[in-house]
Structure 1
């Protein structure tokens, strides 16, 4: 689902073939109110780097476990210079969150190795997540992670564009 919004920027980024550089942002919907902060900060920070929201396609998946397959399909499409994933995997009282988190991170790494499309993770797995205190903390933390993801994405995409094509 593409839910890109309309923000504008003076600078346009182009890929090696002259087309505008496109970025995919995949977000898990579990804990949406918290993870949305990452998306908001990512888009704002990308604007600061000369991108517009029109350059960023936003996708939603049910949970973090679904992110790697979605990332792989997007990477294989050839449309994206970079893919960013955001999600929050919490301990729901049964011991599976660590397995889910490991599967997601390993899957994202495999996507970039298989496709040569850089993939960036803002998928977090807190040791403790209880109540409003932790929700407030992670809402603020995802603002930081979104900006960090934008920096890493824009920098890597720029450096990749300068590399010789194999």
Structure 2
């Protein structure tokens, strides 16, 4: 059986980037998965497995998706942040200055602290942390989310925006 025919849904620079970080079969599987996600517009693994265009049983497709998502290459440090840095360097008007939005929000039953890149009137998630409590974040939690981002983008000038929750003197001094 040959390779499945799919319409490439990823921009060429994504494909080039991924080919240097994933094996060929992993790139093909990712393209199939992205295509299926775009068609289904649903994140339930079982529904994705049912719709994934492979000639294996649904349960095998579900296990394949789960195994794929657990690949060590698919982590924020090896894939997401380097890809984001490539996008910034290639497409940003001023790739040396980043504007970051820092926010805490309740997402379903989760309390989420996150930092996002503000770019072309959009907020692109960079890094986040689930808090194990309700309410505001502590200074230590804020540092734990921002430090890795600052380290990764250490060659950039960074502006951090936040709402009144982050208006403490100690946090301002730390920044």
Fold conserved between structures, TM > 0.5: no
Structure with more contact order per residue of length (Cα contacts < 8 Å, sep ≥ 6): 1
Q: Which has the larger radius of gyration?
A: 2
TM-score, with length taken from structure 2: 0.28
Report the structure, 1 or 2, having the larger strand content.
Answer: 2
